[in-house]
Chains A and B, each alone.
Chain A
């Protein structure tokens, strides 16, 4: 039996909601799709990596269009989801350039965000039935 247009639209909406959840909270997409072990691993590992980045005095970059590299770093930082906005609201992630671990902190924050983007794509594939 063929899927109706309404079914397809509902399925697409569900997929995008899963992706939104996966972006907002690392691992949430997999948890909603029943992949509990993967979801919990992503939740713990990515959240810890983000917190390590803050602890190492990395910077949560602002979106500055005039400085393309800073804007790209900000996009990567935002990949971690809601945690980025909570941390900024709390005044964390100011970044201390003279700190010995500043660049390490940036690497942890940026890579945590980028890996969460990959996790979102994986959740998208699972929701689409490709995996």
Chain B
């Protein structure tokens, strides 16, 4: 896989799963917090990508 977006999704998935499990004790809360983290990573990554698009090196 060489898609930047795809790799970002996989990275966000792993980090969200680990932090969700680490920071919450109840499985339901873990899923909820993990999903929030995942959404924040993906939305934040796409938003940052678009912001940087207007500032080429």
Binding site for B on A (CB under 8 A): 37-38, 41-42, 45-46, 48-49, 52, 56, 100-101, 104, 107-108, 111-112, 115, 118-119, 122
Contacts and interface: CB of A to CB of B under 8 A. Distances in A.
Nearest to A131: B25
Nearest to A118: B22
Given A101-B7, A115-B15, A119-B22, 4 more contacts: A101-B2, A107-B11, A118-B22, A122-B22
Interface in B2-16: 2, 7, 10-11, 14-15
B18 interface: yes
Given A100-B2, A101-B7, A104-B7, A49 B21 contact: no
Contacts of A48: 14
Interface of B: 1-2, 7, 10-11, 14-15, 17-19, 21-22, 27
Contacts of B18: 41-42, 45-46, 49, 115, 119
A56 B39 CA distance: 24
Contact of A42 (B2, B21, B27): B21
A38 B15 CA distance: 14
Given A56-B7, A101-B7, A108-B11, A37 B27 contact: yes
Nearest to B16: A45
Contacts of B1: 101
Contacts of A46: 14, 18
